[in-house]
Each structure stands twice: as C-alpha cells, then as structure tokens.
Amino acid sequence: GGGVLTSGCVQEEIRFSICPEMLVSLLVCEVLESNECIYLIGCERYSTYKGYSKTFQYDGDYIDSKSQDNWGRKWSHLVAIDATFFRDRSKQYDMKSIKHELIKAYAGFHTRGQTSDYAFPIATGNWGCGAFNGDRQLKAIIQLIAASEAVRPLIYATYGDKNLIESFYEVYDYLIDQRAKVRDLYRYLDQYCNRRSRCSLFHFILQTPVSLLSS
C-alpha cells in the first residue's frame, strides 16, 4: 500500500483506502527483513468504491458488520508480505530468489500451534505479479508450498484470469493424484529452474510425474 498517499490505487492501495486505519502502518512499521511480515488486525472498513487504478472513486459509506473478537476487534486479519521486484524477470527463476519468496510467504501464512482441524484459510492472489514482474504460475506454486507447509487452506483470487484459475486447478488435481508432498513441489521448482525449460511451469509439472523428481 505504499503508493496510496501519492500515486497508486490498485490492489493493496485500494484496501488501505477503504480501511484507513491501515495507513498507520506506513508511519510505525520498519522495513521488513526477509523473514518478517506485518499483521494488520481488526481494521474496520469504512467505505465502498468503484473503479480501479486511475478510475478509482469513493462510492459511499460501508457498514462493517464483521463480528468482534474478545478484545473488541473486527474479525479482520490482513498480513503484509513484500514481494521482490524483478527488474530482470529471468532472475525470479533462480532458486536463491525462490527460497527468499518461500520464506517470506511462509512468514505471512504460518500461525503458531495451528492444525488443519481449525485452520483459517488464506485469501491471496497474484502476489508481486503486477509492477513487480512476478510470474503468476511461479507465485501460485510458491504460495501453495507455503500454505501447505503452514497447514492452511488456500483461497486464490486470479482477478479475472480464467486461464490461470483453470490451469491451476488442473495442476492441483494432478498433484493430488500424484500424492505430491511439499518437498516434491520444491523439487519441481528446483528442476524447472535448473533445466531452464522453455515451457511454462504448470506444463512442466503436468509432464513430470513425482516418481521422476528424485532421479
């Protein structure tokens, strides 16, 4: 949301605009380390809106009817994790970069002591795939790894990218059928990067059985 007070108004800037309590974080939060995230808990939504980016406009009051926790805070839990800006898009296919993004995502998704029996889902999407030049398929797998390791369900919004959601479903079903584990997903990324494959990551996964990953 760093551009919300200057020029930007997409995705996280919109969220900061309709939940202005989040703006305080711009004043009090330090630059994040590679294994850190920021929790914004209980922030109330005050307005509705229409448009996006240059067409973004205030569109009236919003009554936030979310329940409250024992401290009187709204049941709203937003996690800020800063993606890497890849000026050179090819740099994101280096395992050092992937490890950095994995650690960052896991820092945001992990909840101490949580099990799958009562895990709250993570609502996310194309993290770092706009101005930061992230590969949508790569970021989807990175977040799937982090959510799986954190034992939390993943709700993935593709912002109208029908091809991405359909292909992600296909890959997910394939991984389930292959009984893939977190380590297998990591191996997919490692082999994809090492081979410098010209095909997409999803295509590489679909063409590579889990049984071949250790060979």
pTM recorded for the entire structure: 0.91
Hey, what are 178's tokens? 């292959």
Contact 34, 23 (CB under 8 A): no
Where do the domains of the chain lie? 12-77, 84-212
Hey, what are 213's tokens? 């990953």
Give the pLDDT score at 197: 78
Contact 12, 128 (CB under 8 A): no
Per residue in 116-163, pLDDT tens? 656 789 999 999 998 899 999 999 999 999 999 999 999 999 988 999
The CA distances from residue 187 to 28, 53, 121, 181, 210, in Å, are 39, 38, 25, 10, 9
SS3 55: helix
First and final C-alpha spacing in the chain? 44
Phi, then psi, of 25 in degrees rounded to 5:
-60, -25
Q: DSSP character for 74?
A: B
Contact 134, 83 (CB under 8 A): yes
Per residue in 49-88, pLDDT tens? 999 888 889 999 999 999 998 999 999 999 999 999 999 9
Contact 1, 15 (CB under 8 A): yes
* Strands (E) located in 70-205: 77-80, 122-124, 154-156
Phi-psi region of 27 (alpha: psi -120 to 50; beta: other; left: phi over 0): alpha
- Residue 103, C-beta contacts closer than 8 angstroms, at least 6 positions apart: 34, 35
